[in-house]
Amino acid sequence: QVQLVESGGGLVHPGGSLRLSCAVSGIIFGIYDMSWYRQTPGNQREPVATIDPADRRNYTDSVKGRFAISRDNDENTVYLEMNNLNSEDTAVYYCHAAFMIGREEYYWGQGTQVTVSS
């Protein structure tokens, strides 16, 4: 049974910070690409940040310099540190695990709400 459980979302003022966590079980965590996606009502789910097994990172342009993705393979956990948040960051954030070599395997978490509001 594969589980991705997000935590750390909530309400924050503009300019504030949050750290999201995603605890993963049921897969060989260290060989998976881990990502954070986000989705707002009426829009497609979009990738925010990705970290691969070699710790190579990619970010969408709107979060570069503000967000940082990291992973702890000993704890099977991926994090998203979000700083200088603004209203455009308000969304449901989803944890995603992917293994794309050979038979494609991917999994989603249930999502955690982040609301940036004054």
pLDDT in tens, 72-112: 999 999 999 999 999 999 999 999 999 988 888 999 999 99
pLDDT at 100: 85
Q: Which single residue is written with the structure tokens 């954030």? A: 93
Per DSSP, 107 falls in state E
Computed over every residue of the chain, the mean pLDDT equals 97
Q: Tell me how far apart the alpha carbons of residues 58 and 55 are, in angstroms, rounded to a whole number.
A: 10
Residue 80: per-residue pLDDT = 98
Average pLDDT for 17-30: 97
Q: Would the CA dihedral through 71, 25, 10, 57 be positive or negative?
A: positive
Q: What is the CA radius of gyration of the chain?
A: 14
Query: Are 60 and 47 in contact, with CB atoms under 8 Å apart?
Result: yes
pLDDT value for 45: 97
For residues 61 and 67, the answer to whether their CB atoms sit within 8 Å is: no
- Average pLDDT score over residue span 47-61: 97
If pLDDT is split at 50, 70 and 90, which confidence band does 48 have? very high
pLDDT of residue 108: 97
User: Minimal CA–CA distance to 85: which of 56, 65, 103, 101?
Assistant: 65
Q: Which pair of tokens denotes residue 73? A: 């393979």
pLDDT exceeds cutoff 90 at 18? yes
